[in-house]
Amino acid sequence: MDEVMKTAVPLLLEWYRVCKRDLPWRKQRTFYSVLVSELMLQQTRVEAVKERYVAFMRQFPSPAALAAADEDAVLKAWEGLGYYSRARNLKKAAERIAEEGYPTDVRGVRALPGVGDYTAGAISSIALGLAEPAVDGNVLRILSRLYADKSNVDEPATKARYAALLRAAYPKETGDFCEALMELGAIVCVPNGAPLCGGCPWAGLCRAHLANSEEDLPVRAPKKARRVVEARVAVLRCGGKYALEKRPAKGLLAGLWQFPFFEGEMPFFGETVAQKRAVHIFTHVEWRMEGRLVEVAAPLPQYVWASADEIRRIYALPSAFKAFMQWVI
């Protein structure tokens, strides 16, 4: 094992034992609970996941329960978390597990729907006790700083190098090590702004810290600009019901419900009662929306018409439309 890691691993584990956050998915660790939490945590903040994880596990306590559930109910339980394909994949993974049982090695884990290299490493090390690295943006950041490594962390070769380094450094507490790396990246070596080196177990050996260059690392490729979409959103009201439509089966927010949505101009439906603008930022796209509340005389047949209560209970409406929900009473 690399000399730096020899010192870094026990320091990190000791720090983790003392400082780790009390998070719901750290209380019981079954394969299923790790699968659910890791899929929820992909691209989503811990704070946003906490409550939803508990509610999800209550509603779908086992792979069998999730496999048997209605996809719409699963999407509803995922409402607001974004990246809804994760919910569909999680359900598919549960179906496979209900049929075939749990995988027992990293290849089996990686083959589950929705599980990429990072998540396969996390699940394998946390749930199966395997020395499988999980390298995400947080891990790339902390390691690039620990080694004062100026390699571009967006290069697959950099990731592969760190994965190999971690694989060789794994202690027997594989799950704690994996989560400790994430934890350090989340609460000490933070992604935005200055790292909190005063509380870092690696402060004495971190080469970036010793050279005062923490904030120059990691080196990343410049981000591509987001595509801007100008859209109109029609909140059509008719006798206490509202028009909904399903988004296309492919692409952004695939198959989720929305208020009638128009890229470009909106057809005339009736008198506009209220109007407001809202912006929603996705990873690669930015929606600049003009929303209109319109009273219509008769329900147009191309839409599903739902009451406010039904919208709240049944239809998963992405957060992008939250600003317009204030009209739904």
What is the binding site for ligand ADE (CB under 6 A)? 23, 38, 41, 46, 122, 179, 182, 186
- Six-digit token pair at 292? 């209109």
- Six-digit token pair at 88? 């569909």
In the complex, what is the shortest distance from the CB of residue 37 to ligand ADE, in angstroms, rounded to a whole number? 6
Q: Long-range CB contacts (< 8 A, 24+ apart) of 197-204?
A: 199/19, 201/11, 201/12, 201/14, 201/15, 202/8, 202/11, 202/12, 202/142, 202/146
Q: Which is nearer to ligand ADE, 6 or 29 (CB)?
A: 29
Is 173 annotated as catalytic?
no
In the complex, what is the shortest distance from the CB of residue 49 to ligand ADE, in angstroms, rounded to a whole number? 8
Q: Which is nearer to ligand ADE, 41 or 317 (CB)?
A: 41
Q: Long-range CB contacts (< 8 A, 24+ apart) of 258-261?
A: 258/233, 258/317, 258/318, 258/320, 258/321, 259/233, 259/234, 259/235, 259/291, 259/321, 259/324, 260/233, 260/234, 260/236, 260/303, 261/231, 261/232, 261/233, 261/234
Q: Which is nearer to ligand ADE, 177 or 321 (CB)?
A: 177
In the complex, what is the shortest distance from the CB of residue 225 to ligand ADE, in angstroms, rounded to a whole number? 27
3-state secondary structure of 4: helix
Annotated catalytic residue within 3, 14, 38, 71: 38
Q: Which is nearer to ligand ADE, 7 or 85 (CB)?
A: 85
In the complex, what is the shortest distance from the CB of residue 19 to ligand ADE, in angstroms, rounded to a whole number? 13
Catalytic residues: 38
